[in-house]
Amino acid sequence: MLCELLLRWTFPLRRYVCLPMRAHYSPMPLPRVTIEFRAALRRWSTLRLSIAVAVAFAATVPRVEAQPPRRSTFVRIACASELGDSLPVVAPAGLAWTNGDSFVYLDGSEYRLAEIALRDLSVRRVYGREGDGPGEFRRPGALGVSHEGGFLIWDAGRQRLIRTTAEFALEDEASFQLPWSTWGFVTVMAPVSDSVVAVAAKSWPTSPRVDSSEMALALLARGSAGPRLVRRFPGDELIVYRTQADHGGELTSVLRAPFGAETIVRLGPATSRSGFTYWVGRTTEPVLRSFRLDSSAPVDSLVIDAPAKAVTSSDRAQYWREQAARFEESASAAGMPENVWRPRFEQIRSQGVDFPKHKPIWEEFALDKHGGRWVRLYEDGPGARVWLHYTATGRIAEQVRVPHTGPIGLSIVAQQHIVTTERKPLTGEWQLCVYGPPSGRTSN
């Protein structure tokens, strides 16, 4: 008994001294506290051994350093305000890629869809004309690409969805009655399935002074006369003024809120037949989110790594110069001379506008044919525009600088080319421009 009491904690001695005596003495049972303490000690020893093994294994694994984004500079390959001999760039309504070294351009005032070569902006083929018959347009307003590589054209004048093949052969037309009091015009569209097309439409303000327009996402299905609303979003931040015109009518002027937010909706790639998703973001917020049609919970997100620039006094002056030009354009269309519209504009200006502290963070979001995500950062002056190319994991793979000279309208992006519609700085005319690497490669 005495041996068990003295040598209970010395395992080696107890093995050779105490164990032979067990034939004559019964060992004293261990206290419960002692048993639990020993079990905890064994677990701690096992944990320390596991940590040591993990650290030793990690030391043998080669460390992969995060690669900085690649920096590229695109040059202007071609730029034209008139395509071919008879297709001027008047009212850009849509841009889309083909499967080759070309793209298609839709003009809302010329009533035509044209396939354009990337290298020199030459016209390869043209589809459509003004009219109400099959394959004719009254007011084309949006362009999409079908699963088979054909094209979807929204004719706002006749509220019809026109489908063509990749060779511009007419497949079918379907009429849809959109509620114009809610949605003003379709901006983008993409197929969800063979019989359903998703469209994003923007409203036109109807009240004398509103905070923003509205964006709506809807589905157009064959055999259905009306759309099925999926979701609504706040649109552009606007200030709408209405004043009495000389002839008794109203003069409406839509002024963009200074450096206000704009909602950008981009629909999923046309190559995906299942799991259709769409992206939504506000240009004043650094996050874009992706959703499925049947859920309001985001399935993916993209964080834009760029700071917001502060609004300066020169920015305020430039804003009022731009709004005066827009007001003058509206007044001229209504037949109002400058000595009439100028005092009214100054009255609007005297009411004051709340300027934010910071400008928008980004201006454009695009998806390329390979699933890449492209974000054009906000720039409010002439010079280079910066595009950030993100991978599917949200890492910046490339930073591309593009020498734009005027305000940009539409944009489509591929891995080696960017096509835009932009206004000339002096005349304000639209022109179509292609940018790419200095080598001038045309593979996408």
Sign of the C-alpha dihedral, residues 177, 183, 189, 193? negative
101/119 Cα distance (integer angstroms): 8
The DSSP output letter for 307 is: P
Exposed / middle / buried, residue 338 (Cβ in 10 Å: 0-12, 13-18, 19+):
exposed
Give the pLDDT score at 9: 45
- Whether the model pTM is above 0.85: no
What DSSP string describes 239-302? EEEEEE-TTSSEEEEEEEPTT---EEEEEPPTT-SSS-EEEEEETTSSEEEEEETT-SS-SEEE
Q: Scanning the structure block, which residue is given the tokens 């519209």?
A: 341
Provide the phi-psi class of 428: left if phi over 0, else alpha when psi is between -120 and 50, else beta: left
Sign of the C-alpha dihedral, residues 78, 125, 141, 428? positive
Give the pLDDT score at 321: 87
Give the pLDDT score at 22: 46
251/231 Cα distance (integer angstroms): 32
Which portions of the chain are predicted below pLDDT 70?
Answer: 1-49, 52-66, 180-184, 204-212, 239-255, 269-275, 381-382, 440-444
Give the pLDDT score at 401: 93
Give the pLDDT score at 443: 41
Q: How far is CA 323 from CA 59, 345, 435, in A?
A: 62, 9, 30
